[in-house]
Structure 1
Amino acid sequence: MTPGHLSAQHYACLYSWFAGLFARELDDAQLAQLQSQDVARWFEHLAQQPTLQAGVLAARNSIAALALRRDARLELAADFAGLFLMSQNNAALPYASCYQPDQTRFNQAACAEMQILLLQAGLERDQAFREPEDHLAICLELLSHLSFAVSENSANLAACLALREKALTLLMSWLPTFTAHCIEHDGFGFYAAQSQLLLAIVGLDWAQF
């Protein structure tokens, strides 16, 4: 195994973690976790992959800057709302439909595509998460589920790998533009940095196919 190699289980954990970052405003427990030794060790592991080094550095720096920010949780909540909950202008809405040729929010085709993937994976959208299926967090939870299935050598391994490739391809069709919008519109830079690292990880994963 090469240094910094990411297994399917690594990807499963990473996708689940990023889903939590982009699903809703961070709470105090999540902020404390970001500054924990566990996350620092994750970054050390990820940084052994050359294509992830720039993203890891950006993520590390953004987390270090939180310690210098007064009322960091409230300020991050404001950043989250401004980036992900407002209009498309000066924002980075986390929906696949916003980055399709027909940029209609909650585009039915984008949601339908994700609905099919979720159905094929045997998943249902969490009713407590009141967002359409093309939300970034749902895409990442799907990838986490499929990655865990692959890591467990499921009897349906070939089907899981095929679904995983489809989900990665769908995500990579809009994640670069989403990340560019985060970088452009996130003044403090926390979510811009996390999206940079996420894009690098998804790209590394996708390159395996």
Structure 2
Amino acid sequence: MRARLYGLIAHLLAAPPDMATLADLARLTGDASDLGRPLGDLGEMARELSPDALSPRDEACERLAREYHDLFIGLGRGELLPYASYYLTGFLNEKPLARLRARMNELGIERDPSSREPEDHMAAILDMMAGLIVGRFAEPADLATQKAFFTAHLADWGPYFFRDLEKAEAAQFYAPIGALGRAFLIIEQAAFEMVD
């Protein structure tokens, strides 16, 4: 379940969701828990955007693409820069990226050749965590390895990024994703603190 949640958030941060993803998200329901509330909100947002007679498919896709662009791309730059280097140093392509690349090499994780983004993009790091859990790069990583990766590459900036996403001016669909990511990383941090 952890890997699926990492993968879901990574997928939503890598690109605006397509209609198939939106249909899957529309099936989400929530509860009163810290993860349940944002999951329910995300499901509700997806249901509101699902195509019907009043909201054709192209309109929903355009709205999501516009929101994604405003948040992460923009004219010159988006409202948020989803990179570890930026959050930790104020600049892109800095030491956090170099440290991540070194760790990727140690773990046998190769850069996706089709990606134009640096490896320290939040979506890429979350995807790496999912891969470590399920063993996409080798055998599934033990909890100590997962904890070391999380601590080195997510814990010190991830919650702040998701807090910023949750409160971003351009975020409507992405606001519950910010809340979900923030709550999930807080839970992960607490769980990893129990790992020796």
Sort the TM-score into its range (normalised by shorter chain).
0.7 to 0.9
Cα pair 2:79 2:170 within 8 Å, conserved: no
Aligned to 2:100: 114
Select the residue among 23, 30, 53 that pairs with 2:14: 23
Separation of aligned partners in 1, 2:187 and 2:166: 20
Q: 1:88 to 1:148 in 2, by over 3 A?
A: farther
Q: How does 1:65-84 map to 2 (within 5 A)?
A: 65-67=48-50, 71-84=59-72
Q: How many residues align?
A: 185
Secondary structure in 2 matching 1:93 = coil
Task: Give, in angstroms, the shift of residue 90 of structure 1.
Answer: 6.6
CA distance, structure 1, for counterparts of residue 104 and residue 5 of structure 2: 19
Q: Distance in 2 between matches of 1:203 and 1:124?
A: 27
| Cα root mean square deviation, aligned | 2.7
Q: CA deviation at 1:83?
A: 0.5
Q: 1:69 to 1:198 in 2, by over 3 A?
A: farther
SS in 2 for 1:202: helix
Q: Tell whether 2:170 aligns with 1:179.
A: no
Return the TM-score normalized by structure 1.
0.76
More helix by share: 1
The within-5 A match list for 1:127-146 is 127-146=113-132
Q: Given the alignment of the two structures, is residue 166 of structure 1 paired with residue 177 of structure 2, yes or no?
A: no
Q: Deviations over 1:46-81 (max 9, x none)?
A: x47x33233223323322332476611111101101
Measured at CA, do residues 183 and 163 of structure 1 come closer, stay the same or move farther in structure 2, by a change above 3 Å?
Answer: same
Listed as ranges, the gaps of 5+ residues in structure 2 are none
User: Of the candidates 82, 97, 112, which is equivalent to residue 126 of structure 1?
Assistant: 112
Distance 1:136 1:72 in 2: 24
Name the TM-score, length of structure 2 as normaliser: 0.81
CA 1:87/1:97 → structure 2, altered by over 3 Å: closer, same or farther?
A: farther
Partners of 2:105 and 2:162 in 1: how far apart?
Answer: 27
8 Å CA contact 1:182–1:192 kept in 2: the answer is yes
Given that residues 52 and 197 in structure 1 are in contact (C-alpha distance below 8 angstroms), is that contact kept between their aligned partners in structure 2?
yes
Residue by residue over 1:156-179, the C-alpha shift from the partner in whole angstroms, topping out at 9 and shown as x without a partner, is 75xx32331123223121122212
1:69, 1:190 → 2: CA distance?
A: 15
Q: Tell me how far apart the structure 1 counterparts of residues 168 and 77 of structure 2 sit (CA, whole Å).
A: 9
Q: Which residue number corresponds to residue 208 of structure 1? A: 191
Report if aligned partners of 1:56, 1:197 keep a CA contact under 8 Å in 2: yes
> 1:184: Cα distance to partner?
2.9
Unaligned runs of 5+ in 1: 1-9
- How far residue 103 of structure 1 moved from its aligned partner, in angstroms, is 0.2
Determine what percentage of the aligned residue pairs are the same residue: 29
Against the structure 1 CA distance between its residues 18 and 183, is the aligned structure 2 distance closer, same or farther, given a 3 Å change threshold? closer
Using CA pairs under 8 Å that are at least 6 residues apart, name the structure with larger relative contact order, 1 or 2: 1
Q: After the TM superposition, which parts of structure 1 deviate over 6 Å for at least 4 consecutive aligned residues? A: 87-90
Amino acid in the other structure paired with 1:117: R
Change in Cα spacing, 1:34 to 1:57, as seen in structure 2 (3 Å) is closer
C-alpha deviation, 1:132, in angstroms: 0.5
AA paired with 2:143? L
